[in-house]
Amino acid sequence: KDSVVRDALKRVQDLIARETGAPLRGEAELRLVNALRNAISQSAGAADAETFLSRDVTILLADLRGFTSITASYPAGTVLEILNRCLVRLCEIVARHQGTVHKFMGDSIMVLFGVPVAREDDVKRALSCAVDMQLAMDELNRQHKQAGMPELYLGIGVNTGTVMAGLLGSHLYSEYTVIGDDVNLASRIEAFSLRGQVLISESTFDRCRDFLQTGEPMNVHVKGKPAPVSLREVLGIPSMESVVPRQEVRRSPRVEVKMPFTFQVIQNDIVVPRVRQGLVLDIAYHGVLAELDEDLPRLSEIKLEMILPLVGYTARDLYAKIVSSKAREGRNLSGIEFTSVSAQCNTSIQLFVQLLIQGSENR
């Protein structure tokens, strides 16, 4: 068992060093060793991983939000301390719920439930793990705030489905891995999650609908899928008296863009003929942040026209109001909320955002 722990420790440390620039040290390393010992003990008697098998697996993908901006604003030592603290805590939670840390991907972590050992309650344990991760990040952020350190948030996506699982590689290098469309879908789901949010697929929900409290289903367009995919937000687990500490008040994802548009001011219910210029800086389902060619007072009403190139649609009869306005570095920045949108326009905006968001950090 000790040799297995040493080998696992080396692999995890190599992954952490590769992604962050340094392995865990001191207390952090000891906590990782303990987590690995627990995980390996729980996985004793697992089936031989040499054979690729079709397995039902629940995939949890968690991504740290805000990490990129922290790396640009803080010394490397501070960044590594924060990242190590977060990764160690997340690994401990995974071990407690008998999951398997599959890999670290920069500031993301992929966790599997169902391989190499399958259990009847894999889905429930995966969802309990996800909720506990968000609770742990909430606690860490309180500690960071007291210590004057930057806060980080998690977005989590969970999907359940059939994958191919087994060992890939040779005697030079090998890695236990999972392959399949449901792995990709888990990554897509995570991309839609907001800070502090846990989103799950319908297949995950169907396996534990009496275990969870969730929001209403929402349909999103996922790359590679011909039809919309239904997702739900996990609000809590009543039997555990756990509530997800949601960190966002936004109603939808948003994505950074640089997209020119035109607008006209509405005065006394009349659209003024003069056409003005603006630049959308980020866009969401219900509004945009835009740079305008002139400062407009808060609550000004406007009519917009903008081209949504990815979906081949031009939004023309799009009415909105200015909900915030500020000057920054000589630019007029305005928060604009849509007030009247046709059904086709609304669908096109949502599709546009969803296509963009799957390749962006800004969610």
Q: Tell me: the pLDDT tens digits for 153-184?
A: 899 999 999 999 887 777 677 777 889 999 99
Gap between the Cα atoms of 227 and 183, Å rounded: 18
Number of domains in the chain: 2
Say how far apart CA 133 and CA 227 lie, in whole Å. 31
Same domain? For 92 and 126 the reply is yes
Residues 258-272 have a mean pLDDT of 91
* Confidence band for 42, pLDDT divided at 50, 70 and 90: low
Query: What angle do helix axes 2-20 and 76-96 make, rounded to 10 degrees?
Result: 140
pLDDT of residue 41: 55
Mean pLDDT of 305-333: 88
The residue out of 215, 243, 271 marking a domain boundary is 243
Residue 65 lies in a domain: yes
- Residue span of the structural domain in which 309 resides: 254-357
pLDDT at 363 over 60: no
Claim to verify: residue 72 and residue 108 sit in the same structural domain: yes
- Whether 137 is covered by a domain: the verdict is yes
Angle at 137 between CA 247 and CA 104, to 5 degrees: 115
For 99-117, b/e burial (b = at least 16 CB within 10 A) is: bbbbbbeebbbbbbbbbbe
User: What is the pLDDT at residue 282?
Assistant: 92
Is the model's pLDDT at 93 over the cut of 90? yes
Query: Could you tell me if residue 8 is inside a domain?
Result: no
pTM given for the model: 0.70
Same domain for 290 and 225:
no
pLDDT tens digits along 111-139: 999 988 889 999 999 999 999 999 999 99
Q: Which long-range contacts link 81-87 to residues 24+ away (Cβ below 8 Å)?
A: 82/144, 82/149, 82/150, 82/152, 83/20, 83/107, 84/16, 84/20, 84/24, 84/25, 84/28, 85/28, 85/140, 86/137, 86/140, 86/152, 87/16, 87/24
Q: What is the CATH number of the domain that holds 260?
A: 2.40.10.220
**Is residue 85 one of the residues assigned to a domain?**
yes
pLDDT tens readout for residues 186-233: 999 998 888 889 999 999 999 999 999 999 999 988 877 888 899 999
Q: Record the tokens describing residue 226, joined without a space.
A: 């011909």
Question: Of all residues in the chain, what percent carry a pLDDT higher than 70?
Answer: 91
Is 34 exposed, middle or buried, given 0-12, 13-18 or 19+ CB atoms closer than 10 A?
middle
Report the C-alpha gap between 162 and 60 in whole angstroms.
14
